[in-house]
Amino acid sequence: MRWGIGLDLSSLTRLFVDASSLRGVDAITDFASRTLGRLLDLEAAQVSLVRSQGDLTLASFWRRPESPLEPLTAGELALVARAAQDVEATCCVVDLSTAGLEVDPSAPTGLVWLPLCVAGAQLGALVGRGPGPLRLEQDQIEAATLLVQHAASLLDAALALRREQRAAVTDELTGLLNRRGFRERFREELDRAARGGRQLAIVVLDCDDLKAVNDRGGHELGDTALRAIGDFLRAEKRLEDAAARIGGDEFGLVIPDATTSEAVAIAERLRRSLIERGLESGCPMTATFGVASYPTDGGNLADLLRAADGAMYRAKAQGKNRTLSIASSSSAAST
């Protein structure tokens, strides 16, 4: 995008019509930060979006190639937001030093704050920093206000679409991937493993004696136990692994770049940690684990799930609360 964007209505209309073709949150936030920087001849600009906890998280950041500026953090943005609340305007200029931020004396302190709002709900903020003290002309304020309103409308639609897409692959009870999401994530990792000649493992785990839990406290208590398993897997799995509830009381893990023995070790760590968590909470929980790996035990999801399920059911038959792979001659005994 050229530097000299016209501030006249005709130029802005053409710009916004082009922007209306954008659908993804990343593309829209990138457009908004870059455009604000060029409209107002800024040093840097960023879009930060409201998270479920209420704080702002960085979505996009733009700066001039020679600029040393870094994005403002969530804590810094919270201070700026409080200072901006005192100015009842869609587009307001805030001085970082008066907002309570510690700033480098040689760095620019002028900041323009534009909340991204739709129907009274704040989606985030579009923030720009100038090369010096910011003094905006009326045509610049009007252009920036039109930009933030258009960007907010586009973001509202894109975020709604993202929520729908996530809901389609998310298990409602646990918040993990559902079977569809598990299948899609496995397909991505399988393609990656096949291209790179790498291994890929699947772990399935089945809660032990969930029927007894349901019989004792009803399905509400059973659902509580399933949510606890979901929270446990989310907290204890490796960052690169994908966890899912693939049906009833059965859960699955996609483990990239892992051999069978490595996946068994991961499963064993989880099994033991689950026991420890249950003892700490006073609600004992155990699960039985089955492990299969690509390409040793199969070349697609159906084959690997069949293999991992087979290993898990063999472990169940040996007494539950243990880990077994297809290649194993003996399982890791319950402890």
pLDDT band at residue 87 under the 50/70/90 scheme: low
Write out pLDDT tens, residues 121-156. Answer: 889 999 999 877 778 888 888 889 999 999 999 999
Write out pLDDT tens, residues 188-221. Answer: 999 999 999 999 999 999 999 887 777 676 777 8
Q: Could you tell me the CA-to-CA distances from 175 to 45, 211, 244, 255 in Å, in that order?
A: 34, 22, 9, 19
| Tokens 């606890």, residue located | 228
pLDDT band at residue 4 under the 50/70/90 scheme: low
Give the dihedral of Cα atoms 208, 210, 215, 219; nearest 10 deg: 170
Q: What percent of the chain has pLDDT over 90?
A: 52
CA–CA dist 152, 99 (Å, integer)? 25
* Closest residue by Cα to residue 213 from 311, 284, 121, 289: 284
Count the neighbouring beta carbons within 10 Å of the beta carbon of residue 41: 14
CA–CA dist 315, 2 (Å, integer)? 64
* Closest residue by Cα to residue 251 from 267, 272, 265: 267
Q: For the chain, give the mean pLDDT.
A: 86
